Amino acid sequence: MSALKRFFTVYNCDCIYGARKYLPDGSVDLIVTDPPYGINGDRLHRHYNRNEEFVIGDYVEISKEKYAGFTDHWIRQAERVLRPGGSIYIVSGYTNLADILNALRKTSLKEVNHIIWKFRFGVFTKNKYISSHYHILFYEKPGGNRTFNPESRFGFNEKDANRNSLNNTDREDVWLINREYKPGRIKNKNELPIALLTKIIQYSSNEGDLVCDFFLGGFSTAKVAIGLNRRIVGFEISRPVFIAKSAELETIRPGSMICNLRKPNVYSQKNRGRSWSEEEYSALMDGYDQLLSDGLPRYRIIALLEEQLGRGRWGIEKALKKIGRGSSRR
């Protein structure tokens, strides 16, 4: 068993044994993990629809018969090591989804979202629909403040060209993120896309937090966590997989991915929920009339006033109505 320490501590051992031995109660802020699917090894390539030449062997599977018991055990450990308010995201295909849901029901963990991760180019089939999604079970441990950074990627007021909210779209529970194809590169059986892991880690943790992956595989969670300046702890049982992948962690500079992240346009809604003063009503009226005479459409005017007055859209709409600038005045 070996452990590499610094920003990361990764163990080449069984995750249930490793969690019991190395992780204290309530020590982890976020778990992101992708357990083995309990599909026989010789069928896996069909499931993933790709050439196996560059895939590391020795990926350790769990037999169908042992899957439910194994899942109960590791999920119980996950519950124990999470801090109150900590989050867990479990990626699962449909084959053993029921076992994972049953195991979760036996814990205190509470569902936050059941996310569908949709990708293109599923497994080709002629006589039924093409499977092109995974499930991501997002649960929390009750009893503390859950980290969720709703504007970490898109500000509440950011819109696309059709005036749809970019923030809402990004936070819908169906995610369209394509799998990464890495022709000619050594990879684990099922590496999660960087875009998917980045999204989870941005929304559900802060810099410096401890992220845990019970099944490191290609160490994708670990790489993204370090790149986003989080600490990582995790387990991988396969020796060849561990050796091939853990060395890559040394090459990742903590925080190096942060400069490539989209900068959300976030402004403070510092006055949201407060009652309106006379001065504010008068600033609202002057601002609205001025912008209207400048020829701006109403939705643009409201966006600018939100920013100027530190209030939300509905607050501005309501106040406009009150001062006789309801939605009929365009």
Ligand X SMILES: C[S@@+](CC[C@H](N)C(=O)[O-])C[C@H]1O[C@@H](n2cnc3c(N)ncnc32)[C@H](O)[C@@H]1O
Min separation Cβ 121 and ligand X, Å: 18
Min separation Cβ 321 and ligand X, Å: 51
DSSP state of 164: -
- 100 neighbors 90 (Cβ within 8 angstroms): yes
Closest CA to 69 of 30, 38, 26: 38
By beta-carbon proximity to ligand X, the closer residue of 240 and 326 is: 240
Spatial separation of the C-alpha atoms in residues 67 and 131, rounded to whole Å: 22
Min separation Cβ 76 and ligand X, Å: 14
Contact positions vs ligand X (CB under 6 A): 14-15, 34, 36, 59-60, 188-192, 215, 217-218, 220-221, 235-238, 241
39: how many CB neighbours lie within 10 A of its CB?
19
The SS3 assignment for 126 reads coil
259: how many CB neighbours lie within 10 A of its CB?
7
By beta-carbon proximity to ligand X, the closer residue of 190 and 246 is: 190
Min separation Cβ 98 and ligand X, Å: 18
Min separation Cβ 38 and ligand X, Å: 10
Phi, psi of 296, deg, nearest 5: -80, 145
By beta-carbon proximity to ligand X, the closer residue of 116 and 285 is: 116
By beta-carbon proximity to ligand X, the closer residue of 135 and 300 is: 135
By beta-carbon proximity to ligand X, the closer residue of 154 and 235 is: 235
Min separation Cβ 324 and ligand X, Å: 57
By beta-carbon proximity to ligand X, the closer residue of 15 and 284 is: 15
Residue number with the shortest CB distance to ligand X? 217
Give Cα 81 to chain centroid, integer Å: 19
By beta-carbon proximity to ligand X, the closer residue of 157 and 221 is: 221
Closest CA to 180 of 96, 58, 8, 54: 54
What one-character-per-residue DSSP string does 39-64 give? --HHHHHHHHTS--TTB-S-PPP--H
- Identity of residue 94: Y
Min separation Cβ 56 and ligand X, Å: 8
Min separation Cβ 22 and ligand X, Å: 13
Closest CA to 275 of 245, 233, 238, 311: 311
Spatial separation of the C-alpha atoms in residues 312 and 1, rounded to whole Å: 54
120: how many CB neighbours lie within 10 A of its CB?
10
Min separation Cβ 188 and ligand X, Å: 4
By beta-carbon proximity to ligand X, the closer residue of 60 and 304 is: 60
Could you identify the residue written with the tokens 């169906």? 174
Tell me the pairing of strands 110-118 and 82-92. Answer: unpaired
Tell me the pairing of strands 8-11 and 231-235. Answer: parallel
By beta-carbon proximity to ligand X, the closer residue of 218 and 254 is: 218
Provide the residue count of the chain. Answer: 330
Query: Torsion over CA of 277, 283, 285 and 288, rounded to 10 degrees?
Result: -130
